[in-house]
Amino acid sequence: MEFSSQRSIHGHSDKGKGKMKQKHSQSLDCKEHKQNHNTFIHVMAKYNVKSPYLLPIPVKISRLLPEATVPVVLTCRNRNWMTSYTGADTNKRFDVTGWRNFATDNMLKEGDGSFFELMEWSIKLIKFKVHILDGDLPPEELFMKCDTGTTSDAPINIE
């Protein structure tokens, strides 16, 4: 089964140098996700969606980001939420207030999955696109009975 979202990464050669560059286009399937190091998936735990509302940022992402407190825009379902990234702390994470607003506005609960895609980053601003997967999705057997999501020609779109 292959899943798609609104972006994908496709490699193309760099003028005979044998290196691969990443070019953004319109769909991302699970096979290609492993090539994109600017994403992470997180399954919500109690501490993510209730007090203390903490969301740690994985090392593979935090090593790309500044060691400073930087404003963050989280975009999900055509809306934006402001928070900040605490990169100067030992535990790299989003600030509690901004993350709490995002989590409560999107009614996140324990077991929900989120796919975070780092879109832009600098010392002045960080932007993530977030896709939320409800933890109450039907069992996999129900997906196997539908025509979408079984091939890359008939993807399940997440937005």
Cα separation of the two ends of the chain: 18
For residue range 88-117, list pLDDT tens digits in order. 999 999 999 999 999 999 999 999 999 999
The answer, yes or no, to whether residue 73 has pLDDT greater than 60, is yes
Query: What is the average per-residue pLDDT within 64-81?
Result: 97
The answer, yes or no, to whether residue 80 has pLDDT greater than 80, is yes
**Percent of the chain at pLDDT above 90?**
60
Sign of the Cα pseudo-torsion (80, 72, 128, 103, in order) = negative
Give the pLDDT of residue 134.
Answer: 81
Contact assessment for residue 61 and residue 85, using Cβ atoms and an 8 Å cutoff: no
Q: Is 40 exposed, middle or buried (0-12, 13-18, 19+ CB in 10 A)?
A: middle
The residues spanned by each domain of the chain are: 1-33, 37-144
Query: What is the average per-residue pLDDT within 110-131?
Result: 96
The answer, yes or no, to whether residue 144 has pLDDT greater than 60, is no
Position 144, amino acid: M
The answer, yes or no, to whether residue 130 has pLDDT greater than 60, is yes
Instruction: Report pTM.
Output: 0.65
Contact assessment for residue 3 and residue 158, using Cβ atoms and an 8 Å cutoff: yes
Q: Which CATH number fits domain 37-144: 2.40.330.10, 2.40.170.20, 3.40.50.10490, 2.160.10.10?
A: 2.40.330.10
Beta bridge partners, 42, equal: 114
Mean of the per-residue pLDDT values of the chain? 76
